[in-house]
């Protein structure tokens, strides 16, 4: 079998030689003594793991160049596994290194058996991550004409689109703002008989009433002040395709009559015109208004309602779509992270809980907005509930800083691992994917006493 590549970055040639000699049986070893050499060797060999000293020239007595090199390596490959092996082993440097993306932190002089164990664990974790990514690629979130959804409610919508697309009959799409009504309309168009024609959308609530008739049906030259030329309307422009009437519940009563006539006869007149014109455009309408109540109150014509509602589909609000929240959130984060040059971003545990607990009054549009902002503003490789501007569940009792929230999650994870292994540090560290010294440092940072590991307390074995 081909041995995995390993990069050693240390300004001390003797240390590089010693490590190469100790690890050459198991790894294809490359070495570098400074930042430029490290980046060049990393780009050339793409090592499975990198051992990095923090004290690099031109400032071998400080950690700044080493930390900058760590950030540069992560920049070249956000999934790089970098183990910091440094004589500058104070706790602050360790925390900075791990916070910047280091897999682990070991102090010099390093115990070679411990280093080999950490390397094996590191490569094992890297293999699991590769397998997980491969499975994700094989099982991509279910996509249907650019729409994502695995919930039964969305499968019902997808089934409706398959059946309704080829009929050519009018469709009425109901649902709250931000649920994706226009995406359904576009999917119906793409799968319909008139897919080769134009898709023409219009928001009936966004155009002043005195201009809306002209927008829809066009006007003749001189029909009103400013009508300097004859102009086609959207109904005419959509011939051979689809016209999508969004916010149809806001259509003025005077235009409801003209739209009804067009639906019945496929004919219309431009404003100021007498000639009967024809258009075979398919009509798809959408609204967040309860049209049956509007009919009952006299705000919407009953005959127009029945003409539009030949086929009706209701888009479910995001809060009722169960696991689709997480599915959509991960896909949006992947897209926005790539768009903003931050691949590898993932959600922290408190963010996942907050996403699932939020009511999403703005539906998919709100989710998209929050994740795009978080992809830009998040620090590090984890998007937190604070980055999403959401309250983490259980935090309503008092406000928390981002640091407090992170420490709360870290403490829970470490305590759970210690309990599962009866307080045995080595076993708990192996499960957590860190070295024994790193786990001790975490316990100290999080004020976890050595008696919290279980009935027998904490042990080294």
Residues 272 and 329 in one domain: no
Is 158 contained in some domain? Answer: yes
Dump pLDDT digits (tens) for 406-416: 677 777 778 77
pLDDT of residue 353: 87
> Can you tell me the mean pLDDT for 136-148?
65
* CATH at residue 432: 1.10.10
- Map residue 192 onto helix, strand or coil: coil
Residues 159 and 67 in one domain: no
Domain count, the chain: 4
Res 456 pLDDT > 50 = no
Average pLDDT, the chain: 86
Environment class of 108 (CB within 10 Å of its CB; exposed 0-12, middle 13-18, buried 19+): middle
pLDDT of residue 77: 81
Is 396 contained in some domain? Answer: no
Is 389 contained in some domain? Answer: no
Domain range for 302 is 145-316
| Residue 335 or residue 225, greater confidence | 335
User: Distances from the Cα of 229 to the Cαs of 167, 219, 223, 225, in angstroms?
Assistant: 37, 8, 9, 11
160, 314 contact by CB (below 8 A)? no
Dump pLDDT digits (tens) for 50-72: 999 988 999 888 888 989 999 88
User: Distances from the Cα of 89 to the Cαs of 30, 69, 86, 437, in angstroms?
Assistant: 24, 17, 6, 11
Q: Which residues contact 175 (CB under 8 A, 6 or more apart)?
A: 181, 286, 288, 314, 315, 316, 317
Residues 200 and 272 in one domain: yes
- Percent of the chain surpassing pLDDT 90: 49
Dump pLDDT digits (tens) for 274-311: 889 999 999 999 999 999 999 999 999 999 999 999 99
Is 438 contained in some domain? Answer: yes
317: DSSP letter? P
Residues 253 and 366 in one domain: no
Residues 97 and 45 in one domain: yes
Residues 31 and 129 in one domain: yes
pLDDT of residue 411: 78
Dump pLDDT digits (tens) for 169-228: 999 999 999 999 999 999 999 999 889 999 999 999 888 888 898 999 988 887 777 778
Residues 299 and 151 in one domain: yes
Residues 197 and 68 in one domain: no
Dump pLDDT digits (tens) for 80-133: 899 998 876 677 888 888 878 888 888 888 889 999 999 999 998 888 877 776
Res 229 pLDDT > 50 = yes
pLDDT of residue 139: 47
pLDDT of residue 141: 47
Residues 219 and 126 in one domain: no
Res 403 pLDDT > 80 = no
Residue 405 φ/ψ, nearest 5 degrees: -65, -45
Q: Which residues of 371-399 are buried (b: 16+ CB within 10 A; e: fewer)?
A: bbebbeebeebbbbbbbbebbbeebeeee
């Amino acid at each position: 079998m081909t041995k995995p590549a390993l990069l050693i970055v240390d300004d001390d040639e003797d240390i590089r030689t010693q490590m190469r000699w100790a690890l050459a049986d198991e790894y294809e070893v490359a070495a570098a003594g400074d930042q430029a050499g490290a980046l060049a060797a990393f780009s050339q060999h793409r090592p499975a793991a990198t051992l990095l000293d923090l004290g690099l020239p031109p400032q071998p007595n400080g950690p700044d160049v080493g930390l900058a090199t760590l950030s540069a390596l992560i920049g070249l490959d956000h999934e790089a596994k970098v183990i910091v092996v440094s004589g500058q082993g104070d706790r602050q440097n360790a925390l900075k290194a791990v916070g910047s993306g280091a897999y682990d932190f070991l102090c010099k002089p390093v115990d070679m058996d411990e280093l080999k164990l950490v390397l094996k664990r590191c490569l094992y974790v890297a293999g699991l991550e590769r397998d997980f990514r491969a499975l994700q690629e094989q099982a991509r979130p279910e996509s249907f004409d650019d729409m994502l959804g695995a919930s039964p409610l969305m499968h019902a919508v997808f089934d409706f689109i398959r059946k309704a697309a080829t009929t050519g009959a009018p469709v009425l799409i109901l649902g709250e703002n931000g649920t994706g009504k226009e995406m359904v309309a576009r999917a119906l168009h793409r799968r319909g008989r008139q897919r080769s024609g134009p898709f023409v959308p219009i928001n009936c609530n966004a155009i002043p009433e005195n201009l809306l008739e002209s927008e829809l049906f066009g006007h003749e030259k001189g029909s009103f002040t400013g009508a300097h030329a004859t102009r086609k309307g959207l109904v005419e422009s959509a011939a051979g395709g689809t016209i999508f009437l969004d916010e149809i519940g806001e259509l003025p009563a005077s235009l409801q009559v003209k739209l009804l006539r067009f639906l019945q006869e496929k004919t219309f007149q431009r404003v100021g015109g007498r000639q009967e014109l024809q258009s075979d455009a398919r009509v798809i309408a959408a609204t967040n208004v309860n049209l049956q109540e509007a009919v009952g109150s006299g705000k919407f014509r009953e005959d127009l309602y029945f003409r539009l509602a030949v086929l009706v589909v209701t888009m479910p609000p995001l809060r009722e779509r169960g696991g689709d929240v997480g599915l959509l959130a991960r896909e949006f984060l992947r897209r926005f992270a790539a768009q903003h040059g931050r691949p590898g971003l993932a959600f922290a545990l408190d963010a996942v809980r907050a996403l699932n607990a939020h009511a999403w009054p703005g539906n998919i549009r709100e989710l998209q907005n929050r994740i795009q902002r978080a992809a830009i503003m998040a620090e590090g490789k984890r998007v937190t509930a604070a980055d999403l501007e959401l309250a983490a569940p259980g935090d309503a009792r008092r406000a928390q800083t981002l640091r407090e929230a992170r420490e709360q999650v870290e403490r829970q994870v470490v305590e759970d691992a210690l309990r599962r292994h009866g307080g045995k540090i080595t076993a708990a560290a192996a499960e957590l994917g860190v070295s024994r010294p790193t786990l001790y440092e975490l316990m100290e940072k999080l004020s976890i006493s050595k008696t919290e590991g279980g009935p027998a307390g904490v042990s080294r074995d």
